[in-house]
Amino acid sequence: MAANASPTLNIGILIYPDVTQLDATGPAQFLARLPGGKLHMIWKTRDPVPTDAGFSIVPTTTFADCPQLDVICVPGGFGQVAVMTDDETLAFLRKQAAGARYVTSVCTGSLILGAAGLLKGYKSACHWAWRDMLTDFGAIPVAERVVRDRNRISGGGVTAGIDFGLTLAAELIGEDAAKTLQLSFEYDPQPPFDCGSPEKAGEERVKRLRERLLPMLDVRQAANQAAAAKLK
């Protein structure tokens, strides 16, 4: 490397079949603009990976070719259930986490980190509907949009990934530069409704949604228990 060259900041986002694309692309949009940063979208192969939104993301690198990352980020999604017991993926995360500056997640990606044994004793965010499942892995659930505990930084459900991305950007390039990044993307959320959390949505709406999620609850609980058993 030339004497005047800036060191590369390697940022990796795991993608996998049925990932929630906004969990990955929300923070990716911000992190891809960091000075000196290089963003890696990672999976086992370079074949297009279908998301739960019906379109695919093409990985930029594979487990085998991925450099040591400064930041590893794990998004959530319907496919999280399969990844939690995928030995190859969990081994990759453990290997990268050992040398990374920050080990991070968005939404139910924190459950994948838990399944890899990387959250025991750490506070973590997660989607509100599945947050309590973190305790299966010895993690401490926290009901906040973004949670930091030492070098673990986690975002809550889906859209919290954008807040997470800005928080991480501030850690890496400083608050002033992160604020400029926020302005450049005109991130000034003013949703038409104020019901984006159980506390604001009202008991009846939360009850109806929980009833719709019951089939997924059984599947996720079974996956959690299987993943937790492998850590013992």
* Catalytic sites, residue numbers: 107
Q: Are β-strands 37-43 and 9-14 bridged in parallel, bridged antiparallel, or unpaired?
A: parallel
CA distance 42 to 44: 7
CA distance 60 to 50: 14
CA distance 108 to 177: 29
User: How many CA atoms, within 13 angstroms, populate the side-chain half-sphere of residue 221?
Assistant: 8
CA distance 112 to 219: 14
Which residues, other chains included, contact 82 with Cβ-Cβ below 8 Å and sequence gap of 6+? Answer: 16, 17, 18, 223
